[in-house]
Structure formats: structure tokens, C-alpha cells
Amino acid sequence: MDTSVCRDRGSTRGWKSCAAGAAVVAALLTSTACRSDGGGAAPTARPSTGAPATPTATATPPAKSGTPSATPGATTSGKPGGTKAPANPGGSPSATGGTRAVADCTTEQLAVSAVKEPADSKENRHLLLGVQNAGDAPCKLYRYPHVKLGATARTMVPVIEESDPDPGRPVVLGRGEEAYAALLVSGGGRDEYEATSITLTLQGRAPGSRAGGPVDVPLPVARLYADDGQLVTYWTTASGVALDFIMSK
């Protein structure tokens, strides 16, 4: 800027005003030059003098592979990746094939029968007693049946002890399955008497106990001639095995 104009002013006040104006013009020119320089670097932001901002959250380290992310002490839900709950031991069976306690057989759920062995024999000394599970669930038979031949019989028919097919274990009958006990009506003609009925009582879990009352067994013949040599076998699911113990007597 040409300062000769300012020198022409006569007063001191005018000189000061002229000098100030010259300074403003110089500043404007400098600013314009800076803006027109397209290759210059952008001005660096002045660093903040305030305190650093407090972080709002702390990043959680990633969980290790295979390690559950559930809170310690929480119960797993059985979903994929969780621990499945153990099966309920000793519980009732589910529809998928679990196990449950098998109930004892009762005469109400059993169909009882008696046939002569062999069927064409002229004698009526050997009978095969049978029971069939007519219920909807399996059941257990214990030891051997308590049998009485005739209404006047005072004692139960003795058992053949060696006929027990599986000592100490009951026979389990599924739905529709059968079990057998062979009955020797007379063993030698001693103290023979006429019998027109047979009653059968199931045993309970405890030896010698009874599970319910006696039930009448249909006779395959009109009458039987029994004596004190009569015998009965343990329950078994193999009819031939039971008959082997009496057919030779």
C-alpha cells in the first residue's frame, strides 16, 4: 500500500487512522493469499486442553473357545451347547422306551386255564395249569401257585423244589404272554379222594405270602381222583420244562 497518502495528512489523528487502515488491508491480503493456495496443508487442530473423556464401557475379552458364556451358578437349559440334565433314575417309563417298575400280577388281570396232558390220555393224572396276562401292562409272578384240589382239601399241593427255573427271580409276563405250572393230581393211589374243583392262589413278593384270594380253575374233565402224592411245579414260560417234572411220575 502506498503510504504517501497518509503522509499528506496534516494532523496526528489522521496519521493514526491511516496507519490502522493500512494494517487491516495488509491482513486481508495475507488471508486471501492463504486461501488461494490449493496445495497447502489443512490447518492443524489445536489440541484440547481439557481432561480426556471417560470411556463409557470397557470391552469384554472374547470368551475362550468351548467355554460356556453363562453366568457361574446358572442352570443350563438343555439347548445346544448346554449340559443336558441326567435322566430321572428309577422313574416311570416314557413313550420313548424308558424303564419303570413292573407291578405284581393279580388274578383280576390273568386268564386261568387247565388242560390234560397228553390230551388223549385215558388218565387224568397230569394237568398243565396256565395263566395269561390279559392286562395292558407287564406283571410279575412269584414262585409257584398255591393249589387246592377239591373243596375238602385241607392243605396246599406241595411244590417240586428243583423245578424253579431261575431261583429267586419272578417270572415277568408281558401283555398276552403265558406262564405254566404242571400239576400231578395223583402220585400212587394213596388216600385217594374225588375232586370236582381246583382253586389257585397267587403268591406275593414275600415267600409264603398271598396276592389276593383263590380263583377257580376250569376243569378239563368232570372229576379228578387225587391222592396225597399230588405235586405242583414253579411258574415257567416253557410248558415242556414244567411237564418234564411230572410226566415220569
Q: Quick: pLDDT tens for 34-81.
A: 344 444 444 444 444 444 444 444 444 444 444 444 343 333 333 334
State the cell numbers at 184.
400231578
Residue 21 has pLDDT above 60, yes or no: no
Share above pLDDT 70 across residues of the chain, in percent, rounded to a whole number: 59
Q: Quick: pLDDT tens for 158-201.
A: 999 999 999 999 999 999 999 999 999 999 867 899 999 999 99
The SS3 call for residue 4 is: helix
8 A C-beta contact, residue 104 and residue 139: yes
The pLDDT of residue 189 is: 67
The pLDDT of residue 28 is: 37
Q: In terms of residues, how long is the chain?
A: 249
Task: Report residue 100's pLDDT band, with 50, 70 and 90 as the boundaries.
Answer: low
Per mean pLDDT, which range of 26-40, 81-95, 114-128, 156-170 is the poorest? 81-95
Residue 213 has pLDDT above 90, yes or no: yes
The secondary element (H helix, E strand) that includes residue 195 is strand 193-195
Would you call 201 exposed, middle or buried from its count of C-beta atoms within 10 A (0-12, 13-18, 19+)? middle
Q: Cα 32 to the chain's mean position, in Å?
A: 87
State the cell numbers at 116.
390234560
Instruction: Give the closest residue to 130 by CA, choosing from 238, 222, 226, 206.
Output: 238
- Show Cβ contacts of residue 163 under 8 Å, excluding neighbours closer than 6 positions: 144, 182, 233, 234, 236, 242, 245
Q: What's the angle, vertex CA 217, arms to CA 215 and CA 223, rounded to 5? A: 135
